[in-house]
Chains A and B, each alone.
Chain A
């Protein structure tokens, strides 16, 4: 079972397919859950405390806005942990404020720099593309060093 980072990190489809084919999807929920379940200082809504931008310094320079560094404190460790990644390049649902947008760019950059196997594809817009989408993910996951059930 390989750990596969998914982008968009909140994607239902990618999360499901990666788990369905026998691997562990690494998405935003895991990072958020860790923070939500850790006691400390109350910092709603996502329990991103002032510590997070400091941790984010590992992934972005000090002059990068704290919003990006705070977000990278969630995604950075997941990217480090990842052994592969599946990226949907035309995910119009992965939009947000400037902090989210810049973090998304940094996530994609970090993934491409990390040297792990990456599959890039687009969301299907018809049934035949649906077959290609699922087939491409299945084939990619089956070819990973840690195997899987696919």
Chain B
């Protein structure tokens, strides 16, 4: 028997705010975000915040939050509202699904911060180095080597 599903927080958006800054902790960020929240639900986490509310209100708050420390604050969308029992680790135990992915990228954030700062410093007209092409062709298996492998397998 399939149960009926009645969603909560319909029409809202939730965003993660990550802070990786030498001058601001998630706690400080939360305090300053509360001051500017104006009806947006804010949940403090170990890495920053989750903000939930009407899309326009969340966009406005995110704009204000980013201004605190633009190159050290990172934002992304979240599908679930905060504390959702299907995702919250209070109900599941262990890390929240998706947390490990964030943790992996969190370690790279300092390079991104450096990149953003460096581009700011060099300005719009500055020459920016081209990234190396990501598509490196693997060398194909040599036909003679393949023949050797087949013969070794057969013998």
Contact = CB atoms under 8 A, between A and B. Distances in A.
Interface string A9-29: 011110111010000010111
Contact of A25 (B18, B77, B81, B97): B77
Interface string A36-68: 111111111111000000000000000000000
B119 A122 contact: no
Contacts of B116: 134
Nearest to B81: A36
Interface range, A side: 35 or more
22 contacts: A10-B98, A12-B18, A13-B105, A16-B76, A25-B77, A29-B77, A35-B79, A39-B4, A89-B134, A89-B135, A90-B134, A93-B104, A93-B105, A127-B110, A127-B114, A130-B108, A130-B112, A131-B114, A132-B132, A135-B115, A136-B130, A138-B119
Interface of A: 8, 10-13, 15-17, 19, 25, 27-33, 35-47, 87-90, 92-94, 120-136, 138-139
A121 B131 contact: yes
A13 to B, nearest CB: 5
B131 A133 contact: yes
Interface residues of B, number: 52
Question: Looking at A32, A36, A42, A122, which has the most chain B CB atoms within 10 Å of its CB?
Answer: A36
